[in-house]
Amino acid sequence: MKKKITIKEIAKILMVSVSTVSKAMNDSPEISEKTKKKVKELAKFYGYVPNHIAVSLKNQSTFNIGVIIPDIQNSFLAEVLKNIEVHAKKNGYRIITFFTGEKLKEERESLNILSNGMVEGIIVCPSEETFVERQFEHFKNIAETTPIVTFDRLHKELNFNSVSVDDDQSILKACDHFQSTDAKNILFVSSIGWLSVGKTRRRTFTGFIENNTSVTGETIEEHDLDELRKKIEARITDDSQPNIDAILGADIESTSIASASISRNKLKFIDEISLIGYVNKKQNELQFPRVSYINQYPEKVGEKAVELLISNLKQDQKKITQEIIKTEIVKKDTSK
């Protein structure tokens, strides 16, 4: 493998000083056009490019942004990540991505590594285990020296700039929508009951049911997806119990399973049973039926996260901004 050429070697070849080369490469007005041309030609010839590590050390700035997310397979997170990358690039930043697999230990390590001067700020979606274990110290420690923006998942201990989605509102909107289209008995299905966001969504749902006399509600929570499918199918085909005329999916998986269960048992969407939930948007457009869904606007989340971080980078701000993205019910084929 050929060694990369440095400024020093170019200087030697041209019999000038390293600073002349450096200035020429950076188009300093101090250098004559003739010299600039000579230097640049040779640089191009040897494929010279400034060593980013050295520049970072010298300038004390890396133009890297760290991103930590629990799972790339989650289509919402993947879409947020993509938009983070796009907007970071637009602002001249690169991203360094770590995946935690929802593990606290991985999260701690990622934060440590990234804060060692590798990046100027960190955008992070805290892992589930972090919430379960209620461990937030590692965030606070890092935040003393490195700006942090969190997204998607909130906690009162996480006192940073953040972008999240109005989860309560979206569940309520779906419930309201069902109620206004005359649903009588809503089934809430979830494969993320163990996850904090799953708990919030369930609580919001049960709260709605308790405060409304015109609708009743039931809940199926099951982490094992195949079990979940069985339970849902058993319930919606059970004639001995009150009829389910609407299903609310608390996450992408349970919504998919609910849709498949309805199709497999040949129930008629809308006429017999409606469905609203969370989906993989891109995939949903191609399917039949396309499920009516709660749009969480991952593009906005990603863009806003970058925006908050960069403004924080540019000036040491004191006030914390907790941005909340409004969600929206998008009607497709499975609901009125």
**Interface residues with a copy of itself (CB under 8 A)?**
1-4, 47, 49-54, 56-57, 62, 64, 72-73, 78-79, 81-82, 85-86, 94-99, 112-113, 115-118, 141, 144-147, 225, 253, 256-257, 259-261, 263-264, 280, 282-283, 285-288, 316
Residue 274, strand partner residues? 246
Does 142 bind DNA (CB under 7 A)? Our answer is no
15 binds, among a copy of itself, DNA, none (CB under 5 to 8 A by kind): DNA
Nearest one of 50, 78, 48, 84 to 66, comparing CA atoms = 84
Relative orientation angle of helices 298-314 and 75-90, to the nearest 10 degrees: 40
Buried b (16+ CB within 10 A) or exposed e, 73-97: ebbbbbbbbebbbebbeeeebebbb
Of 78 and 215, CB closest to a copy of itself: 78
145 binds, among a copy of itself, DNA, none (CB under 5 to 8 A by kind): a copy of itself
Q: Which residues contact 206 (CB under 8 A, 6 or more apart)?
A: 188, 217, 219
Site for DNA in 21-50 (CB under 7 A): 22-23, 25-26, 28-35, 48, 50
Tell me the per-residue interface mask from 43 to 82 with DNA, x by CB under 7 A, - otherwise: -----x-xx--xx-xxxx----------------------
Nearest one of 197, 36, 179 to 125, comparing CA atoms = 197
292 binds, among a copy of itself, DNA, none (CB under 5 to 8 A by kind): none
DSSP H helices in 60-166: 75-90, 104-115, 128-133, 137-143
**Burial group, residue 278, by CB count within 10 angstroms (0-12, 13-18, 19+):** buried
19 binds, among DNA, a copy of itself, none (CB under 5 to 8 A by kind): DNA
Q: Which stretch binds DNA (CB under 7 A): 4-12, 86-94, 149-157, 205-213?
A: 4-12
Does 145 bind DNA (CB under 7 A)? Our answer is no
User: What gap in Å lies between CA 185 and CA 187, rounded to an integer?
Assistant: 7
239 binds, among DNA, a copy of itself, none (CB under 5 to 8 A by kind): none
Q: Are 293 and 284 contacting, i.e. CB atoms less than 8 angstroms apart?
A: yes
Cβ count near 247 (within 10 Å): 30
Element (H, E) at 204: helix 196-210
As measured in angstroms, the least distance from the Cβ of 41 to a copy of itself is 16
Task: Tell me the site size for DNA, rule CB under 7 A.
Answer: 30
Does 16 bind DNA (CB under 7 A)? Our answer is yes
Query: How far is CA 46 from each of CA 3, 5, 248, 330, rounded to the nearest angstrom?
Result: 11, 7, 62, 55
Of 2 and 134, CB closest to a copy of itself: 2
Of 35 and 212, CB closest to DNA: 35
Does 1 bind DNA (CB under 7 A)? Our answer is no
Residues at the contact surface with DNA, assessed by CB under 7 A: 6-8, 15-20, 22-23, 25-26, 28-35, 48, 50-51, 54-55, 57-60
